[in-house]
């Protein structure tokens, strides 16, 4: 029976690299091709970014995208947007657009066994709550809301929903809501 021998990547790279007579490259040598093996600049599982308490430095100016029609707002929740450090005018409009100001909004239908039978999202994900946080943010929701992983119904709680919205706003801006 033959045994497999593990060859370290560095050794394999040296074996496969073109041979040269120079001990060290000179300044006129060409850099390696862009697809050559290079050491990783970061670990494979980079740490999660910290939750920031200030809005992003490059905050977008959404005022042109927010209709002036004040009926397209959720004034009932203004104090909560401010409490969570979210731009009130912008998130009041987002809440109206996404959920019509309903903290129990969901963009899916379920059968009697609790299985999704329809969702608005093409990828099968589900949006929940006042700001319609997407189910793909399961890990963030778990960490921010201190809930068991996969327990997405916590997004129906306005404070949890807005805490996750704040995290998303701080880590990507309004692009998460298409603005």
- How far apart are alpha carbons 88 and 34 in whole angstroms? 46
Compute the distance between CA of residue 142 and CA of residue 86 in angstroms, rounded to an integer.
20
Q: pTM to 2 decimals?
A: 0.64
Pairwise CA distance, residues 134 & 152, whole Å: 9
Instruction: Give the pLDDT confidence of 73-130 residue by residue, as tens digits.
Output: 999 999 999 999 999 999 999 999 999 999 999 999 889 998 888 888 999 999 999 9
What's the pLDDT score for residue 61? 58
Beta-carbon contacts of residue 162 (< 8 Å; ≥ 6 apart): 80, 81, 83, 84, 86, 91, 130, 131
| Token pair recorded at residue 154 | 């916590």
Asked if the model's pLDDT at residue 20 lies above 60, the reply is no
State the average pLDDT over residues 133-155: 97
Domains of the chain (ranges, CATH numbers): 62-172 (1.10.530.10)
């Amino acid at each position: 029976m033959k045994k497999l021998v593990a060859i370290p990547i560095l050794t394999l790279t040296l074996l496969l690299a073109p041979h040269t007579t120079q001990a060290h490259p000179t300044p006129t040598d060409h850099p390696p091709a862009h697809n050559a093996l290079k050491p990783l600049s970061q670990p494979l599982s980079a740490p999660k970014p910290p939750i920031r308490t200030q809005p992003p430095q490059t905050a977008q100016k959404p005022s042109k995208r927010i209709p002036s029609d004040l009926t397209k707002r959720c004034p009932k929740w203004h104090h909560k947007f401010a409490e969570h450090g979210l731009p009130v005018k912008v998130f009041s409009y987002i809440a109206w657009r996404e959920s019509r100001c309903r903290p129990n909004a969901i963009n899916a239908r379920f059968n009697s066994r609790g299985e999704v039978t329809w969702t608005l999202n093409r990828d099968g994900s589900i949006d929940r709550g006042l700001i319609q946080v997407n189910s793909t943010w399961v890990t963030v929701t778990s960490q921010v809301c201190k809930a068991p992983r996969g327990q997405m119904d916590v997004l129906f709680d306005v404070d949890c929903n807005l805490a996750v919205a704040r995290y998303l706003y701080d880590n990507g801006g309004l692009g998460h809501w298409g603005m």
